[in-house]
Amino acid sequence: MGNIRGLTVHQFWSKGTSLVKFLQANQCNGAALQELGLHWGAMDPLKQFSALFRHRFPAKTGACHNAQVPPTSPLQYGGTAVALMSQALPRFHSFSSDPSGLGRWTSVCISGREGHHCRLVSIYSPQDAVGLSHQDYLKSQGRLTTPRTEALQEDFLPILLDWVAANETILIGIDANEDTRNGSWHTLFVNAGLHHIIQSTHGSKSPLPSTHNRNTTGTPIADAIFTNLPTTDAIL
C-alpha cells in the first residue's frame, strides 16, 4: 500500500512494470495505491491500469481519477487504485469507488467463509493542485468553502460506517497529506473502530518505521494502514 507519486505518460510502462514486478516478487495478494497521476479517460485504451498486470499475471484492478474534469490531458494529479491478485483473486466480490466521481477513494471487496467480506480501500486525501481540481464540483454542491479534506471525510465516513455495521474486515491504505499518528484522519478512523496498524505494532518505539525513504526523525508520517483487524492477526 502506498503513494507511487505518478505513473506519468512517458514512464507508464517502465514505472508501472517495476511496480507490478515488486508486487509479484513480494507475493502480494492485494494493493492499494494513491496518486497515480493520470486521467484514464485521456489515456490510450492500451495504456490502462489493468494493462500493467495483463502481461504478467491475472489480476482484478480498479483505478479512479477525477472524472468531473474533461479528458483534455492525461496528466492529472491525485487518483486511487486497488488490485487483487494471487490467492485473493478467486475471492473477488465487487469494486466500489467515490460516488462523486472525484476519484478520492477506490475499494475492492472479497468474499470469505460464511458470507464474511473483507474490503481493501485506497484513499488519497487532496491538497494543493488536487484540491483545486475539486473546486467546481464542490461549488455545485454548495460546499465551496468546505476544506477539501473535510469534504472527503464528510462523504466517506457514512460509507465506512456502513461497512463497519456490515461486520466487514477493513484494510485502508491512505495518503492523508497530514500526520496519520494524530491528525483528523486518525481521529475519524479511531472513532469508527479502526486503528493505525503500524502505530499499534510499533507504538512503543520512537520514531515509527518510515513509510518513505525521505522520512527522517520528526517527519510526519502521511502514509498509513488503518484496519479493524486485531494487531495480532496477519494481514494477508
Angstrom distance (rounded) from CA 126 to CA 109:
24
Nearest CA among 92, 96, 91, 89 for reference residue 64: 96
Residue 79 falls within a domain, yes or no? yes
pTM over 0.85: yes
Q: What domain count does the chain have?
A: 1
C-beta of residue 121 within 8 angstroms of C-beta of residue 97: no
Predicted confidence band of residue 52 (pLDDT cuts 50, 70, 90): very high
Average pLDDT over residues 203-213: 54
Percent of the chain residues topping a pLDDT of 70: 89
- The domain containing residue 30 runs over which residues? 2-227
Residue 233 falls within a domain, yes or no? no
Point out which residues pair with 61 in neighbouring strands: 83
Residue 210 falls within a domain, yes or no? yes
Nearest CA among 34, 37, 31, 122 for reference residue 83: 31
